[in-house]
Amino acid sequence: MTKMIVGLQPDIVFTQWPVDVHPDHQVTGLLPLTTWVRSERKFHLYFYEVNTGSETMAFTPTDYVDISAVREHKKEAIFAHKTQNPVETYNDYFKPLEEFRGLAAGVKAAEAFIHFKAKVERANIIGI
């Protein structure tokens, strides 16, 4: 994975937040994180949440993207995955999460991300 990502020389990589109950999500998040560290942080690394409250844990967003204009396209893509029980999955998890993140961002619907940064780039708390 490291060779592949480094070989592509991306500016940005998006991956799942690894603090998750699903082992596939954990691995999917940790592989790009390991690459980011090994590549000496040569790309921006953003994590996204899957099902906060049921799978994703300890997710505190740094950035929001307004998806109001493309929400139906996202829904169509989710519904294309017939084996994933798309109607229930969307209505029970993704729709409420889009609206919740939208409230935080001040828009109708949003997705949230954590922009992972080196310690020197993060905010400092006095005494830590």
Q: Residue 121: helix, strand or coil by DSSP? A: helix
| Distance between CA atoms of residues 128 and 105, nearest Å | 29
What values do phi and psi take at 56, rounded to 5?
A: -70, 135
Neighbours of 77 (CB within 10 A): 11
**pLDDT tens-digit map of 71-110:** 999 999 999 999 989 999 999 999 999 999 999 999 999 9
Tell me the C-alpha to C-alpha distance, in Å, between residue 35 and each of 22, 29, 42, 59, 68. 21, 10, 9, 21, 32
Is the pLDDT assigned to residue 128 strictly greater than 70?
no
119 or 85, which is more confident? 85
* 17-55 pLDDT tens trace: 999 999 999 999 999 999 999 999 999 999 999 888 889
Instruction: Indicate whether 62 pLDDT > 90.
Output: yes
Paired strand residues for 63: 113
Burial of 2 (0-12, 13-18, 19+ CB in 10 A): middle
Domains and CATH numbers, the chain: 2-120 (3.40.50.10320)
